[in-house]
Amino acid sequence: MSSTIEPVLDPFALARTLSGKQLIDGQLVAPRSGRTFDVVNPATQETVGQAAWGDEADVAAAVAAAVKAQREWAKRPARERGKLVAECGRILDAHKEEIARLVTLETGKALRTESRVEAGVLSDAFTFFGGLAPELKGETVPFNPAMLTMTVREPIGVVGAIIPWNVPLLLMALKIAPAMVAGNAVVVKSAEEAPFAVLRACQLMQTVLPPGLLNILSGMGPECGAPLVAHPKVGKVTFTGSVETGKIVYKTAADKLIPVTLELGGKSPMIVMGDADVDKAVAGAVAGMRFTRQGQSCTASSRIFVHADVHDDFVAKLKAKVDAMVMGDPLDEATDIGAIVSRQQYDKVLNYIRIGEESPGATVLKCSALPADPKLGKGLFVQPALLVDIPRDSAPAREEIFGPVACLFRFTEYEDAIQAANDTEYGLAATIWTRDLKTAMDAVHRLEAGFVQVNQNLVVQPNLSYGGVKASGLGKEATLESMLEHFTHKKTIIINMG
């Protein structure tokens, strides 16, 4: 099977084409209210299109379509479902350049360093979960020789998926691919800031999926996300976003007694021991802080504890490395660092930098240079900032900034670094940099996080369990186990043959 939709490499044209549309029951349709809201290019502040302003009426239509489609979908053999989901991966792969350009336009992430990477791994999630379809197996239970006792995995029904704007395509894929393979239908609510690339991805997948199986709405959280969570026919909600909104979602789900998966924020520590390879650790800090994504990552290594023996060397090298990065037009191939996604995030980030500047004892090192191009004069660009020696109890050191701001702390005792690393409400990711195996082994067990790495800082990928402890969330994503646990329920069947 091949896609009948030709790639559109001009993201401006594509944004206009998708304006005012949602995908419901296999069709691109306007919202019931007829209302739209502007989608803005963060690099110029120019409006690039209008997103459908979905609300409760659209949620009702999408869920009704999903309920209908799910009944038939669940009857198909799991391997057939898996094959179609894997086929979605193939189609998305063939369209990855246009998807990368579109997500660049709406989020301000740089095309070369970020969006192409995201669009490249997008298809992996569909290929990976599609291939796991035969693993939707049950067990036989040695209960009584005269009875056949077994378990089967059944789909939940309709899954509501609420996604953020920072890595919208991949985070959507990690939810909808396993949900669909497991036999569920899905209604996605995209983030206000990034509605188009995910809509385009769903439109492309629609060329192979049955109508109504995958629906995507756009709109405001309280008006479109909240009724999706509250809808009586939605049997499971999977959410990625802020702790604050995650709690609202959880409370509504509690009232309905339905399961939720929550992937929330982080304030992830990075510990650099005195014996670490400083150059590798500096490269790991640049990657871990996601400076190329303006630091807009839930796993950002935003609290960096550096042993006093190597601290000054580490800071100087880190600054030099970030200074060498080019901030500019996200669509430009030369650009390493793009713009902050929205005015709200921009103001929030600048406020934390200002607090850093006013904090006693702290030194704020601003890196790289704002773009000189007058076309980008109104763009939401922020110089990456290193808040060196920032007090550990200050707001920038404790709260999730979700911007290009790293807090650096000096330590001399390993115990102190471990305790400080764990002294946070969050627990998403952590890294330690050392040549000493004993220290590394001790740290990986003691660091309170869902994803711990030694001497490297890789990003999430299919088959690696992903998700936090403490306030960073509930439940894991990206693995076979997550598909079984979060998108099926286990039914016990006993057949008495006596």
Q: Is 263 a catalytic residue?
A: yes
Closest to ligand NAI by CB, 43 vs 51, is 51
Q: Which has the closest alpha carbon to 187: 202, 165, 197? A: 202
Minimum CB–partner distance for residue 264 and ligand NAI (Å) = 5
Q: What angle do CA 115, 116, 120 make, to 5 degrees?
A: 115
User: Which tokens go with 448?
Assistant: 């309170």
Give how far the C-alpha of residue 70 lies from the chain's centroid of Cα atoms, to the nearest Å. Answer: 25
Closest to ligand NAI by CB, 149 vs 242, is 242
Helix (H/G/I), strand (E/B), else coil: 113 = helix
For residues 126 and 180, give the distance between their C-alpha atoms in angstroms, rounded to a whole number.
10
For residues 410 and 13, give the distance between their C-alpha atoms in angstroms, rounded to a whole number.
50
Minimum CB–partner distance for residue 375 and ligand NAI (Å) = 27
For residues 102 and 10, the answer to whether their CB atoms sit within 8 Å is no
Angle between the N-to-C axes of helices 168-181 and 480-487, in degrees from 0 to 180, rounded to the nearest 10: 70
Closest to ligand NAI by CB, 163 vs 318, is 163
Closest to ligand NAI by CB, 18 vs 249, is 249
Closest to ligand NAI by CB, 10 vs 347, is 347
Closest to ligand NAI by CB, 238 vs 488, is 238
Query: Which residues contact ligand NAI by CB under 6 A?
Result: 162-166, 189, 191-192, 221-222, 225-226, 229, 240-242, 245, 248-249, 263-265, 298, 345, 348, 400, 402
279 CB neighbour count, 10 Å cutoff: 12
Minimum CB–partner distance for residue 222 and ligand NAI (Å) = 5
For residues 189 and 182, give the distance between their C-alpha atoms in angstroms, rounded to a whole number.
20
Minimum CB–partner distance for residue 299 and ligand NAI (Å) = 8
Q: Which amino acid is at 436?
A: D
Minimum CB–partner distance for residue 223 and ligand NAI (Å) = 9
Minimum CB–partner distance for residue 349 and ligand NAI (Å) = 9
Minimum CB–partner distance for residue 280 and ligand NAI (Å) = 26
For residues 59 and 224, the answer to whether their CB atoms sit within 8 Å is yes
Helix (H) / strand (E) containing 326: none
User: DSSP assignment of 381-443, as one string?
Assistant: ----EEEET--TTSHHHHS---SSEEEEEEES-HHHHHHHHH-SS--SEEEEE-S-HHHHHHH
For residues 131 and 123, give the distance between their C-alpha atoms in angstroms, rounded to a whole number.
12
Minimum CB–partner distance for residue 169 and ligand NAI (Å) = 13
Dihedral angle of Cα 394, 396, 397, 399, to the nearest 10 degrees: 100
Q: Which has the closest alpha carbon to 362: 393, 383, 403, 384? A: 393
Catalytic residue among 202, 224, 298, 367: 298
User: Which tokens go with 243?
Assistant: 């702790």
Closest to ligand NAI by CB, 141 vs 220, is 220
8 CB neighbour count, 10 Å cutoff: 17
Minimum CB–partner distance for residue 219 and ligand NAI (Å) = 7
Closest to ligand NAI by CB, 22 vs 127, is 22
Closest to ligand NAI by CB, 20 vs 241, is 241
Q: Is 425 a catalytic residue?
A: no
For residues 254 and 410, the answer to whether their CB atoms sit within 8 Å is no
* Residue written as token pair 């890789």: 458
For residues 243 and 163, the answer to whether their CB atoms sit within 8 Å is no
Catalytic residue among 106, 263, 400, 448: 263
For residues 90 and 206, the answer to whether their CB atoms sit within 8 Å is no
Which residues are the active-site residues? 263, 298
